[in-house]
Chains A and B, each alone.
Chain A
Amino acid sequence: MASKVDRIQDESLRTALQDAQTALRTGDYKKVVELASGAYVELLRRKPELLQGQAQFMSVMFFPRLGAHLVVNTNGVPEIVWDREKFIFSEAITYYEYTVDNLIKNKL
């Protein structure tokens, strides 16, 4: 059975999440969080409607806050703020799954 990540249509985003999947298997959890968070920020950049009105609240509030969190700066640009450098297995999975689900849901 194909992995869920293969359903991401955009090649660069799919590759990023495939790399994150590999990092998850090799135990490089920081890299997983970096790749997943970066892909999520890219999703918001390509879908600006997700940062309009109440959608922005949902986009920011529901992004995981487990050592790295999302903010929208004063220029309206989303960015990741790092609270720490070390992550564990379940945290990395959370960032990875959240991003994959949202990329698929938004048809990227």
Chain B
Amino acid sequence: MKFGLFYEHQIPRPRDQEQWDPDAEHQMMKNALDQIELADQLGFDYVFEVEHHFLEEYSHSSAPEVFLAAASQRTKNIRLGHGIVLMPPRYNHPARVAERIATLDLVSDGRVEFGTGESGSEMEMGGFGVQREDKKQMWEEATREVVKMMTETPYPGMEGAYFGMPSRNVVPKPLQKPHPPLWVASSRRETTMVGARLGMGSLGFAFETPTEAEERAEEYYRLVREECYPIGKAINPALGVVSVLSCFDSDEEAIEKGMEGAQFFAYSLAYFYNPFTGGNHAPGKKNIYKQFADAPEDQRWGPFGDAFRGFGGFGGGGSGDEPKDEVTRALWRAAQRGGCIGSPDFIKDTLRQYEASHLDLMIFVAQCGARKHDDVMDSIYRTGTKVIPEFKERHAEHQKWRARQLEGVEHLVNSTI
């Protein structure tokens, strides 16, 4: 199993102020670059940066190509992932996507992972005039064309349902040939299987019990072997999931320093992706963090409580009953949502379950909510030194398993797993 970091660039509003401090966004960006530089030095394999628009507090990452370009100049080895680029042409013209991906690949010496997606929030779709029922068509059409732009000289042009342009030679071309590895955001379970059939890696939130997760991995790789019609010129078979991270010496410290941030992540995600709350958001005025902080403890995982989980999780280690002890109960709740919150030993136990389920990539949300930069740095450092090494030692075994899954596959494979 490999490891990455995941950035939304969260900045909760101060609970008792209408707006952020003037330097808050600037400082958050600089802090995130420091964190990624540290992760690179510690041997983290990937960093994935989202693209979102207008989702204030939840995500201030609207220009990931700029941020990743900055990260590329402060790091040496870490892979630079778009997690993801919004592909409907109303967000990003396909030619501009191809140009930016290629340029980032060139300035980073070939370290780009090209994640693609559609978006799903009312704030974003409404802001750019994207219709929900059309967004997957837009995604598929645009992704096919961007791949052609990166690989064909000249790009022959096309007139599609949502995008059209005449023949042009789209330059520059990416350093990685035929193109950087392709991923698709899979916040819905079934999109993972779309990815398998199109030869794309899956970047997911939801994960289930170990048994279900293993079944999903087996089904994904079966589809790659038997029913894959690649959208690109090469396939990237890979399963990655996102989990919140707070790694400290003791479980109690990890909860104290990391639980609220994890809860805010889930709460604000559910807020914007619920069409009733997100669709009626008051731009520039609503203080989501205040609403979150004022909410009773049992409602802090989101407006729908247990019915709307940002993270699937492992079902609390198989136990159906909440533990009564406060610390154990907090861990149980975090684990229910797939969270990696605890001591290095606790987190390694959780990760071994993912590893046994043949997960290729675990992507940690270390920066979220109102977590302090120093705590995020500590958590990344502890994870890099006390958690990841054990799994790196066993990664060769996982690669052998993957090789067996891909036996007989005739498509060109370009994957960094």
Contacts and interface: CB of A to CB of B under 8 A. Distances in A.
A41 interface: no
B190 interface: yes
Given A54-B307, A58-B307, A91 B136 contact: yes
Given A1-B218, A1-B222, A101-B190, A94 B136 contact: yes
B191 interface: yes
B132 A93 contact: no
Contact of A90 (B189, B194, B222): B194
B198 interface: yes
Given A65-B132, A66-B133, A84-B133, A97 B193 contact: yes
A93 B198 CA distance: 11
16 contacts: A1-B222, A25-B227, A66-B135, A66-B136, A66-B137, A67-B133, A69-B133, A88-B136, A88-B137, A90-B139, A90-B140, A90-B194, A94-B136, A94-B188, A94-B194, A97-B189
Interface in A25-60: 25, 54, 58
Interface string B301-325: 0000001000000000000000000
B343 to A, nearest CB: 34
Contacts of A98: 188-190
A83 B133 contact: yes
Contacts of B132: 65-66
Interface string A82-108: 011000111101101110010000000
Interface residues of B, number: 22
Given A69-B133, A91-B137, A98-B188, 11 more contacts: A1-B218, A89-B140, A89-B198, A91-B136, A93-B190, A94-B136, A94-B191, A94-B194, A96-B190, A97-B194, A98-B189
A23 to B, nearest CB: 13
A66 B139 CA distance: 12
Nearest to A104: B215
B189 A101 contact: yes
Contacts of A83: 133
Contacts of A65: 132-133
Interface in B175-194: 188-191, 193-194
A76 to B, nearest CB: 21
Interface string B204-233: 000000000000001100100001010000
A96 B188 CA distance: 13
Contacts of B218: 1
Contacts of B139: 90
Contacts of A58: 307
B120 to A, nearest CB: 10
Given A25-B227, A65-B132, A90 B198 contact: yes
Contacts of A89: 140, 197-198, 229
Contacts of B197: 89, 93
Contacts of A93: 190, 193-194, 197
A50 to B, nearest CB: 13
Given A66-B133, A67-B133, A83-B133, A88 B140 contact: yes
Contact of A94 (B141, B190, B307): B190
A66 B118 CA distance: 12
A90 B307 contact: no
4 residue pairs, one from A and one from B, having the closest CB atoms: A97-B190, A97-B193, A90-B140, A93-B194
B409 to A, nearest CB: 14
